[in-house]
Amino acid sequence: MRTTQSLSITLPIEMAQMVKDKVASGEYASESEVIRDGLRTLLARDAAIEKWLVEEVAPAYDEIKAHPERAVSAEEVRKRLDDRMASLLQKHKV
């Protein structure tokens, strides 16, 4: 029984060239290997996003729904980040 299937795909010229360059550089043995590695990377990224959503985003959402008084506005988050960045830049100023 076959474990692979041949597909015909169409890529933008820039992507097709990138695939060819990866093979030409010796980083990959074939164009198929480049595509397989890209798909594995995509699957890993999707799994990482799903894990983050389940383990961090959903609990944070539930916490805000349960205690809306603890919520911080986007403007306040931006201000805190700006203040923190300014503090770090000042601290490391040469």
Question: How many other CB atoms sit within 10 Å of the CB of residue 58?
Answer: 11
Q: What is the pTM of this model?
A: 0.69
Say whether pLDDT at 91 is over 70: yes
Q: Per residue in 5-39, pLDDT tens? A: 999 999 999 999 999 999 999 999 999 999 999 99
Domain regions of the chain by residue span? 14-92
Please tell me the least confidently modeled range out of 12-16, 46-50, 72-76, 89-93.
Answer: 89-93
Cα angle, residue 31 at apex, residues 25 and 36 outer, rounded to 5°: 110
Contacts (Cβ under 8 Å, ≥6 apart) of 74 = none
